[in-house]
Each structure stands twice: as C-alpha cells, then as structure tokens.
Amino acid sequence: MKKQQLSAISYVNASLSFIFGVSVFVFFGYFYTYHLAYQEQYQMFLFTSDYMAETTHRVGGLSEYLSRFLTQFYYTPLHGALIIATLLTLMQRQLLSAALHLAGREKNGWASLTFVPSIFYWILLCDENYMLTGVISVIMALSAFLWSRSVRQARVRAACSLIMIPLLYALAGGAVVVFGILFIIAEAVKGGLSIRQRCLTAAGNALLLALSPLSAQYFFPQYPLAKLLTGADYYRYQSVFPFSLLLLWLIIPAIVAGFRLLPAVKKGWRLWLPAGMQGVLLVFLAVLGVSGAADWKKEEVMRYDYYVRQGNWEHIISMADREAPASPLSVAFLNLALCRQGLMPDRMFHYFQNGAEGLLPSFVRDFSIPLMAGEVYYHLGFINTAQRLAFEAMEAIPDFQRSARSIKRLAETSLINGDYEVSRKYLRILLHTLYYSEWAAETLSCLHDEERIEANPEWAGLRKYRTKTDFLFSEKEKDMMLGLLLGQDPSNRPAYEYLMAYCLLTKDMERFSLYYPLGRDIHYRTIPKSYQEALIYIWGLTNNTTAGVPYAVSDEVKRQVEDYRRIYVSYPAAEQMLKSRFSGTYWYYLHYRK
Amino acid sequence: MKRYFIYLPLLLCSLAACREAVVPTGTTDGPPVIFPDYAGVTVPATIAPLNFRVESADYAAIHAVIEGSRSGRIEARGGRRAAVSIPPGEWKRLLADNTGSDLSVTVSLRQPGGWISYRPFAIHVSGYPADYGLVYRLIPPAYEVYGKMGIYQRDLSDFTQTALLENTLIPGNCVNCHSFRQGRPEQMSLHIRGPYNATVLTSDGGVDLYDTKTEQTIANCVYPYWHPSGGYIAYSVNETRQVFHEQRDKRIEVVDARSDVVVYDIGKNELLSCPQITSQDAFETFPAFSPDGRTLYFCSAAARVIPEEYDQVRYDLCSIAFDPESGTFGQEVDTLVRAAATGKSVSFPRPSYDGRYLMYTLSDYGNFSIWHKEADLWLLDLHAGLTRELTEVNSSDVESYHSWSSNSRWFVFSSRRTDGLYSRPFLASVDEAGNVSKPFMLPQKDPGMYDSSLYSFNIPEFVTGRVELDARIVGRKARSGERIQMKYSSRAVSGRGL
C-alpha cells in the first residue's frame, strides 16, 4: 500500500477515535451525568501519604489508586465524562498500536475492530458498580506490552516479561493476563527467539501468570484466593467475580491475533467498503449495547438525589412538572422539595404518589438508599436518624471505601448535635480532599462558635426542629415520631405537613382527623387543598351533603367533591372518567392508588 | 570515585547543619498541652516511644529533650504542627536505664519570635513489666451494618500492628469477641458472625470451628471467658437487638430480650449450666471465672419487657461457685455489688489474675456500656469487700471494656474521651497498695493516626506473647462449613425448663 494511502487511513482512524471519544463524552456528560455524580460520593480520595499507602498496598493497588484519583473529578460530571472518554479512547488507540505492531500497517483497514473493547467497557460503565479501575488496569497492561516491544533484543525482552508479569500483577491486578497473552502471541509471531526459546518464554509467562495470585496469598493472607485472582476492585461488590472483565481481557488479545489473520486490505472500494461496514456495525452495536445497558430509572433517582444535595428545590419541582417521578425515592425527593417550598399540602397529589415509602423511605441494608433517604430525615430535623443512615450507608459500601458525602453529613449532624470534637475529626479528614476541603475549612472555623452556627439558616433551623427529649426511632411508627417532633415545637411546619401527608398516604383517615387540629399553630391562610379534600371526604362518610361541613372548605372543593362522588358511584369504569379531571385530588389517590 | 568520598563528609556536615540548634528565647509558665496526654503518666519499661504533638500552640517545629533521672538524654524533633519522633533505640535504652524512676520532658516550639520552652513534665517508668502486647478489634462505631473490620495484635514495645483475622477473608461476615486464657496467645476464642457463622477455638496450633447454637440454648455463645485451667470457657447466650435514640447525647442502645450463662467443657464438647444462671426471670450475662477457677462471676438483672423497658434493666454483680473437677455449680448465687438498688448497672466484670480485685463498668442502665457516656470503671477489692470508683482513670465520657495484664499490675481499657465517639485504648497501672496511675493512650508512631482513623479500638486484651493464627486456615474452614456442633449436656439443668 502506498505511504500516502496509509497516512490517509491513519487520519481516518484518528478521526474515528476522536468521534468515539466525543460520543462517550456527550453520553456521560449530557445524558448519563448523574451516574457520575453518584459514583463520586461513594469514595473519598485523600491527598495523604497514609491513604496512598493504604490504597496501593494490595494487589492491583496502583490501578485502584489512579482510579480513585480520577473518580474524584466526577464531582463535576463534565470532568468525569472527559476522563472516561479519554481513557476509553486511549485504550482503543493503544490496542490499535499493538495490533498494527504485530500485523503491520497494511492491516489498518481493520482498525474498527479495536473499538470493540472500549465499546464493551463503555457498556459496562453504564452499570454504576463497574469501576474505572478496570479500564486503567487494561491501559497499564497495554502500555507495558507496547513498552516491551520497544526492547529490541529478544532475550532481554523475554527476561523483561518475566519481571513484568509479577510487577504488573502487583500494580494492575488480574489485567496482567492481557499483557501475558499478548506477549506470548507477539513472541510467537514476531520475535527473534528460537522455537525452543519461544516455548520456554511462553511457558514461563504462563507459569508466572498462574503463580502470581497463588504466591500473593502469602503476602496478603487476609484475602481469599478468589479475590486475589483479580486483585483490584474492578467491580464494587467483592463477592461478585467480574466475568465480563475476564471476557474483555480475552477479547483484547483475540483482536490482536485476529489482525494478524485477517487479510490486508488493498485500496479503493475493497478498503473502504469493509471499513465502512465495520464502522456501521460497531455504531449499531454501541447504540444497542449502551441503550440496553443504561438504566434510566436509576438515572432519574440519581438526578433527583443530585439536586437534593444541591438544595435546588425549584429545579426538582420543575423536573417533576416535566415528567412525574415514579420510584419511591424520587417521589420522596419531590415531596421534600414541595415541603421545603411550602407547596406540599396543596400540590403533592398533583404528582404520582407512592405511598408512605415515597414520603419517608424505610431503612435498607444497602449503601445507596440510606444515604439518599437520610436527606429527608435530615431536613425534617431527625438529626440522629440522618446521622445513622449516613453511617450505615458508608459501612455498607461493598468495596469498603469511605464516602465523602457521608463524612460531610456526619460532620454536619455532629455539629448540629453540638458534638464538636467528633465533627472536627470528620472535617479534618475532609480537609485532605479536593472538593470538600473549602467547605470543611469554613465549617471548622464555626465549631464552638454558637453565634456563627445560629447565623447559618440550615443549622439553626435544624437545631430548632430536632428533638429535645429522647425517643426511639421506630420504622413502624413514623407518624408517632413526627407527632413527638411536632409536640415539642407546634410551629414545626415540616413535621406537621409530613405527619398529615403520612396519614393521607397511608389512607388513615382516623389519624388524619385526630392530628389535623395540631396544625393550628402553623397559621395557614386557608386550609391546604389536600387537607380540604380529606376533610370533606371524612365529612361525606357520615353526611349526604357538603352543607354544614365544620371546616373552611372552599366552594370549589365542595363542587368538585359532588361531581367526583356522582361519577364515582354512577359508573363502573369511573377511574378513567375521573382521571382527566380528578387525578390531582386526594380522592383519586384514595380510591385508585396503592 | 575518590571525589565522592571527599564530598560525602561535606554532605553529611551540611545535613547536620540543617538541624538547627534550639536556643530558647522565652519560656512559658505551664507545661504544654500535648496529644496524647503523657504528662505525669506511668508507663512500662518496654513501651514504644511516646511520640506526641503540642495542641495548645501553633508551631513551625517542635523539639523535646527527654532526660532520665538516673541517666540518659534524648533529643527528638518534629516538623510544623507534627509530633516529635522519638528515636526508638535511644528510647529503649533510656527506659531500661531509668526503670523505677522518672523521665523529664522539656518541650520547645519554634514560633515566629524564636524557640519557646515549656515547663518540663514527668513520665514515671514503672518497675512492673507489662505483657507482650494487645489484641483488639478495629471496627467503625457503626449501627447495624458493618464494613471492613478485623482483629489485630499490637506489640507494645514498638508500633507493629498485624492482622490476625480481617473480614476481607470472609466477606460479609463480622469477627468479634476475641478472648485468651489469662492472656496466653496459644488459646484463643473468637466468633465469626454472618453467613459463615462459627466460633473459632485455637489451642496449641490447632484451629477448630464450632456451631454453638443448640436446641436448649437461646442463641449462639458470646462474651467468652476462659477458665484458668483451659478446660472450660464461660459464655453467655443472648437474644440481642439494637434500638436507636433520637436525642443528641445518645445514639444506640444494645439490649438483651433474654440471656443466660453457660459453661463449655472443651474436653467433653458439652455446654453446662444450672437454673441459677438460666433463670427466666432474670437476664444473666458477661460471665468471668475467678483466677482459681472455683467462682463464676456474672451480671444479673431482673427481666423486663424489651425494648419498652430498656432503661429499667439494671444488672447486679453476682457470683456462683463452680467445681472444675465435676463441672457442677453451687446452689447459692451471691450478689457482690447491688448496683440495681442504687439505680446503676454493672457490666464487664473482670477479676485480676492475682485474685485481689475485680474491675467492672458502671452505667445508668443496661449492659452495653460503650454507648453510655456516663459509663465509668469501678474497682472491687475482693479481699476487703470494698468497691470504689476509679476516679484516677475515668473521664466525662465513656470508659467501658477493660482487661488485666497477666501480672495484674496493668490494665487496659477503652475510652471515648478524645472525641466522644471513637474508642481508644488507655493503659494504667495498679500497685500492690491499690494505687492507680494516670492512664496513657496506646502510643502510635504518628499520633495523628487517632485523628484520621475511622476505627474504634474494641475489646483491648493483653496477650503475653505473639498470637500465631493462620488466617488462611480459619478462612478455609469458615468457607467450607466445617463445624463441630456443641452439645448441651444432659447433666445441665436449665431454669427455662427446657
């Protein structure tokens, strides 16, 4: 093939890499953004020598450390998207270099195949439990391979490989197999060794690959062999063996070997047609794979969670106005936003409601739900529960990392509770982070300074609302807990509205009637809409007419309930008829929602 | 090559010149506030260097001169806001040369105006030897969920900490309740809780895993205490649950809905008990054998409805005779400390191995004193029958678990005094006359470790030597499901009428 044509193909390949990188960036930066924000909060990268020593002192420790270092930048999701795009593109380019090195530049026309591992890992990264460690360790293995090929003397190169395998295993973990297999292939097809030497080198490499995890047991006796096979935490759950990565590690040498076997494409349509077809096929696979792997329901919850963290209540409501949330956690966040904006009793039934779980989520032995659910308890003044959920979430992180978000919440709740020394401990730790250090330094200066704490509206408000007398948290008696909170401060509007919402969502009309008068100190100008609807419904249970209802129910609500009742009792298929006019009412929820 | 030999002394000289001479330009009246607080403490002659930092002032550098009252002098330095780093070899010699006498520590800080010296403080080097080290569990002060944790041993003479068993080896499980026969490392008991549920017993290199739940007992065996003969282990069996407070000063309440005491006969693989320690009307827990093995101490409270009456449960300190030859119990239960009558509650009775004292924790109610800020250590003189609060070691925060050294001249206890949440191990000595020294926190190479660590030091226990536990064997047996089933003895009579 002519030099000019080769450079044209190289240019096209580089452009394809660039387009691929941009696609990954756009996907994570603009469509799958909140998965990145979610990832960042379940780790806490510290710029300390102790953290570095602790993280790297394990099999695959360096790849783990680099992964955590880069993941901290997910705090700004666009930065995270750029990092992922760069790494996946780098992996593709390295693989292309490795393949061309062994097969020759005239195989350039098959370059599209080198996108397969990167697309594969892109698909894996749609699962929030796949860590960046996997792609970093493969890049380390490919880098080591490409470096080894730069060693000209075959015997020196063979000797290097015997050193590289245990070293790479220690630094990158199980991804060393990529290096090992590639090296064996490379020496088999393009080495200066005799057949006997090749066999010996291959046997040595294979033996070292097998012996590395076995010998690691002696250095790391506190890990089972199954864990030492992979070493680094490629997947968040320790008990799950990442078979997908094993597949990835095998695909890479298979592609390199495949390049060698594939025919060299010449020029003209015989070059561009197969290349184009490959490209189309890959785009199709990428779209199919990524769209199949992406979990948009989780993305929705993560999006709501992100804005709750920001305290951007208006944005949450506007999101719900565009598309009503469905999952209990998203609904709980929406209700929290409505409450914070003073809109809950009037508007909560305008949106889909998911029962009591969509108001005050229950504790689950999990790392994500408690952290998210804790936001609701925190803003209501259940400071100890918010603290507990933050702690539980951090302890439940499957790969034993610490959570910067949890530590921040623990520092806040300790400060609100007046436990300044333990708050100081958490804040001092956060000083060693990139994104939380400024907040930590500012908060540290507030410790023991009651005036400054009282000047902070959030902390002062929560100190006002939190319980002054002790009671035990009860998952089954959340209404009682809200009642106790309200009993201590009858002007605690969020506690009252949550108590009322709890009764409405659990359809407990008896308790609604009982608790309703507790709101007299809230001083509503008019009775909130959902309360009017409940009151008139309760009245209607023992009366045939709305006349004489002993509450200030508006004429509009009275008219509506009459219309609703007429349709409800007259038509067997009333639900559909009522939906258009009354889906935003409490009556509709009462009759047709769980 | 010769040139390098010429340059080498010059380089060494220039490095030495970097060590600025400390010439104080001023002094302060009082001693410095240091962390950890080692001023006026008594330490064993084999303790690791007491590296410390100054808390009461900011500084660019720190310098300490440690002088023995008999002989020896050490200089130690540290950087900005850092701890002094005491040279281990020199420290070891200084302690050896001054055993039974005092060290004087003079601290100077480099501040903008020059070096400021503080009034010296003393450290007493005790003549009583301490044991080889400590074994403790490192666990975050968590609620229901646990992440990474492990049981570790620490050599008291240096800073070496090694893992005995971490739950990374048995993912999803908890490891707890390590216990040794009077501090001997050869015989150890610990529990694995979770999917690989087991009690691990080691004896002279052998490791066996047991299933301790029987039809006749209400739960798995917990809170072990070895009989001095090594032939028995006392356990309690507890139906435990946790509840969570909403008030700011409290967090967690660990409560027993039912509990009994049993004794495991290792040789016969039998659990022994009697109605007096398995009563339905009482919660019995935290057993401990006397050093002669003929008395079993335990805590007992009148049964209450749990969790409703969790704050009404108050434990007395009781004892019952035990005959190690026959494995039988006495008829009478003696009440040694009637805490319940005074509105208090006893937990963790631990007799000293010389038979003179019994140390226990006293709190307002319940038995899980680590979550009780008011919990303090008390000492019962078993000869005189007198009990007193250990004001020398107590603080305004939690003091809870404690353990004696093999010679009964030292004890280690956990306290949350540094920040109110994370338990740290403190050591103190008791002399023949019962005088208790000011406690000191377990020294670390960098005391900043206590700031950054998110782990509590749980159940600190003295050990007389290095524990040799092959974690891989424990892990393999745990995963294999290989268990020895404990049997409830036909000789045992339960008060529950089982």
Question: Which domains are delineated in chain B?
Answer: 23-125 (2.60.40.10), 133-485 (2.120.10.30)
User: Which among A230, A218, A142, A145 is positioned nearest to A187, based on CA atoms?
Assistant: A145
Residues B378 and B360: their CA atoms lie apart, in Å, by 5
A365 at the B interface (CB within 8 A)? Answer: yes
**Is A471 within 8 Å of B246 when comparing Cβ atoms?**
yes
Compute the 3-state secondary structure of chain A and give helix, strand, coil in percent, each to the nearest 5. 75, 0, 25
A384 at the B interface (CB within 8 A)? Answer: yes
Contacts of B228 (CB under 8 A, 6+ apart): B181, B182, B289, B291, B292, B293
A397 at the B interface (CB within 8 A)? Answer: yes
Residues B198 and B192: their CA atoms lie apart, in Å, by 5
Q: Are A330 and A304 in contact (CB under 8 A)?
A: yes
DSSP string, B226-294: E-TTSSEEEEEEEEEEEEEB-STT--EEEEEEEEEEEEEETTTTEEE--GGGS-TTEEEEEEEE-TTSS
pLDDT at position B313 over 50: yes
Tens of pLDDT, residues A292-303:
999 999 999 999
Share of chain A above pLDDT 90, in %: 83
Say whether A79 sits in a helix, a strand or coil.
helix
To the nearest whole angstrom, how far is the Cα of B18 from the nearest Cα of chain A? 24
Considering only the beta carbons, identify the residue of B144, B449, B475 that sits closest to A224: B475
Residues in chain A: 594
Q: Is the dihedral of CA A24, A26, A32, A35 positive or negative?
A: positive
Average pLDDT score over residue span B189-217: 94
Considering only the beta carbons, identify the residue of B163, B250, B419 that sits closest to A422: B419
A402 at the B interface (CB within 8 A)? Answer: yes
Question: Which single residue is written with the structure tokens 């050294």?
Answer: B405
User: Which among B270, B244, B291 is positioned nearest to B489, based on CA atoms?
Assistant: B270
Residues A565 and A140: their CA atoms lie apart, in Å, by 70
Question: Cβ contacts (< 8 Å) between B251 and chain A: which residues?
Answer: 384, 387-388
DSSP A27: I
Question: Cβ contacts (< 8 Å) between A365 and chain B: which residues?
Answer: 144-145
Sorted by where each starts, the structural domains of chain A and their CATH numbers stand as 3-294 (no CATH), 297-465 (1.25.40), 525-594 (no CATH)
Residues B490 and B492: their CA atoms lie apart, in Å, by 5
pLDDT confidence band for B14 (50 / 70 / 90): very low
Specify the range with the lowest mean pLDDT, choosing from A6-10, A220-224, A312-316, A454-458. Answer: A6-10
Give contacts of A 137-196 with B, CB under 8 A: none
Q: What is the CA radius of gyration of chain B?
A: 25
Q: Are A208 and A282 in contact (CB under 8 A)?
A: no
**Nearest residue on chain B to A463, judged by CA atoms?**
B248
User: Which among B410, B468, B412, B475 is positioned nearest to B188, based on CA atoms?
Assistant: B468
Among A472, A481, A482, A489, the strongest candidate for a mutation testing the B interface, having the largest count of B CBs within 10 A, is A472
**Is A400 within 8 Å of B452 when comparing Cβ atoms?**
no
Position A521: which residue type? D
CA A369 to chain centre: 11
Tens of pLDDT, residues A165-184:
999 999 999 999 999 999 99
**Is B145 within 8 Å of A417 when comparing Cβ atoms?**
no
- Which segment, A562-566, B19-23, B55-59, is predicted with the most confidence on average? A562-566
To the nearest whole angstrom, how far is the Cα of B72 from the nearest Cα of chain A? 33
Angle of helix A154-172 relative to helix A195-219, nearest 10 degrees?
20
| Average pLDDT in chain B | 93
Q: Are B439 and B402 in contact (CB under 8 A)?
A: no
Q: What are the angstrom distances between the C-alpha of B407 and each of B21, B158, B357?
A: 44, 21, 12
Residues A577 and B86: their CA atoms lie apart, in Å, by 83
Residues A28 and A31: their CA atoms lie apart, in Å, by 6
Question: Cβ contacts (< 8 Å) between B454 and chain A: which residues?
Answer: 402, 429
A50 at the B interface (CB within 8 A)? Answer: yes
**Is B144 within 8 Å of A392 when comparing Cβ atoms?**
yes
Q: Are B392 and B436 in contact (CB under 8 A)?
A: yes
Question: Cβ contacts (< 8 Å) between A395 and chain B: which residues?
Answer: 140, 142-143, 145-147
To the nearest whole angstrom, how far is the Cα of B324 from the nearest Cα of chain A? 38
**Nearest residue on chain B to A389, judged by CA atoms?**
B143
**What's the token pair of residue A572?**
């067997």
Specify the range with the lowest mean pLDDT, choosing from A113-122, A274-283, A554-563. Answer: A274-283
Question: Cβ contacts (< 8 Å) between B247 and chain A: which residues?
Answer: 384, 467-471
User: Which among A389, A368, A324 is positioned nearest to A584, based on CA atoms?
Assistant: A324
Q: Are B33 and B122 in contact (CB under 8 A)?
A: no
Q: Which helix (H) or strand (E) holds A388?
A: helix A383-396
Considering only the beta carbons, identify the residue of B169, B253, B420 that sits closest to A224: B169
**Is B143 within 8 Å of A392 when comparing Cβ atoms?**
yes
Residue pairs spanning A and B at CB distance below 8 A: 114
Q: Are B344 and B362 in contact (CB under 8 A)?
A: yes
Backbone φ and ψ for B403, nearest 5 degrees, come out as: -150, 145
Considering only the beta carbons, identify the residue of A388, A395, A470 that sits closest to B146: A395
Among B143, B145, B148, the strongest candidate for a mutation testing the A interface, having the largest count of A CBs within 10 A, is B145
A488 at the B interface (CB within 8 A)? Answer: no
Question: Cβ contacts (< 8 Å) between A239 and chain B: which residues?
Answer: 171-172
**Is B246 within 8 Å of A422 when comparing Cβ atoms?**
no
pLDDT at position B496 over 70: no
To the nearest whole angstrom, how far is the Cα of B348 from the nearest Cα of chain A? 25
Considering only the beta carbons, identify the residue of B418, B452, B475 that sits closest to A429: B452
Q: Looking only at Cα atoms, what is the longest distance across chain B?
A: 91
Say whether B473 sits in a helix, a strand or coil.
helix
Q: Where are the beta strands (DSSP E) in B281-375?
A: 282-289, 295-302, 315-323, 328-337, 345-351, 357-363
pLDDT at position A498 over 70: yes
CB environment A214-229: b (16+ within 10 A), e (fewer):
eebeeebbbbbeebbb
A467 at the B interface (CB within 8 A)? Answer: yes
**Is A365 within 8 Å of B470 when comparing Cβ atoms?**
no
CA A502 to chain centre: 29
Question: Cβ contacts (< 8 Å) between B422 and chain A: which residues?
Answer: 422, 425
Position B164: which residue type? L
**What's the token pair of residue A516?**
């309703």
User: Which among B259, B253, B255, B257 is positioned nearest to B237, based on CA atoms?
Assistant: B259
pLDDT confidence band for A8 (50 / 70 / 90): confident
ipTM above 0.90, yes or no: yes
Say whether B79 sits in a helix, a strand or coil.
coil
Question: Which single residue is written with the structure tokens 């799958």?
Answer: A32
Q: Which helix (H) or strand (E) holds B152?
A: strand B150-155
Considering only the beta carbons, identify the residue of A48, A223, A422 that sits closest to B421: A422
Residues A136 and A559: their CA atoms lie apart, in Å, by 65
To the nearest whole angstrom, how far is the Cα of B38 from the nearest Cα of chain A? 20
A487 at the B interface (CB within 8 A)? Answer: no
Residues B429 and B410: their CA atoms lie apart, in Å, by 4
Long-range contacts of A236-244 (CB under 8 A, 24+ apart): A236/A42, A236/A128, A236/A129, A236/A130, A236/A131, A236/A397, A236/A398, A236/A399, A237/A129, A237/A398, A237/A399, A238/A398, A238/A399, A238/A400, A238/B168, A238/B171, A239/A398, A239/B171, A239/B172, A242/A130, A242/A134, A244/A120, A244/A124, A244/A130
User: Which among A510, A515, A518, A571 is positioned nearest to A542, based on CA atoms?
Assistant: A510
Rama region for B380: left / alpha / beta (φ>0; ψ in -120 to 50; rest): beta
pLDDT at position A1 over 60: no
Considering only the beta carbons, identify the residue of A48, A217, A382 that sits closest to B472: A217
Tens of pLDDT, residues A554-578:
999 999 999 999 999 998 889 999 9
**Nearest residue on chain B to A422, judged by CA atoms?**
B419
Residues B425 and B418: their CA atoms lie apart, in Å, by 11
Tens of pLDDT, residues A389-403:
999 999 999 999 999
Residues B57 and A252: their CA atoms lie apart, in Å, by 59
pLDDT confidence band for B16 (50 / 70 / 90): very low
Question: Cβ contacts (< 8 Å) between B172 and chain A: which residues?
Answer: 239
The pLDDT assigned to B248 comes to: 86
User: Which among B309, B256, B265, B307 is positioned nearest to B286, based on CA atoms?
Assistant: B256
**Is A384 within 8 Å of B245 when comparing Cβ atoms?**
yes
Tens of pLDDT, residues B426-448:
999 999 999 999 999 999 999 99
Contacts of B427 (CB under 8 A, 6+ apart): B43, B44, B130, B410, B411, B412, B439, B440, B442
The reported pTM is 0.94
**Nearest residue on chain A to B469, judged by CA atoms?**
A221
Backbone φ and ψ for A489, nearest 5 degrees, come out as: -145, 90
Residues A491 and A493: their CA atoms lie apart, in Å, by 6
To the nearest whole angstrom, how far is the Cα of A543 from the nearest Cα of chain B? 41
To the nearest whole angstrom, how far is the Cα of A321 from the nearest Cα of chain B? 35
A98 at the B interface (CB within 8 A)? Answer: no
Tens of pLDDT, residues A239-274:
888 899 999 999 999 999 998 888 877 666 666 777
A223 at the B interface (CB within 8 A)? Answer: yes
Question: Cβ contacts (< 8 Å) between A467 and chain B: which residues?
Answer: 246-247
Tens of pLDDT, residues A459-468:
999 999 999 8
A443 at the B interface (CB within 8 A)? Answer: no
To the nearest whole angstrom, how far is the Cα of A391 from the nearest Cα of chain B? 7
DSSP tally for chain B: helices H, then strands E: 4, 35
**Is A419 within 8 Å of B420 when comparing Cβ atoms?**
yes
**What's the token pair of residue A116?**
């397969």
Beta pairing class for B456-463 and B133-139 = antiparallel
Q: Are A346 and A501 in contact (CB under 8 A)?
A: no
Q: Are A471 and A486 in contact (CB under 8 A)?
A: no
pLDDT at position B408 over 90: yes
**Is B147 within 8 Å of A396 when comparing Cβ atoms?**
yes
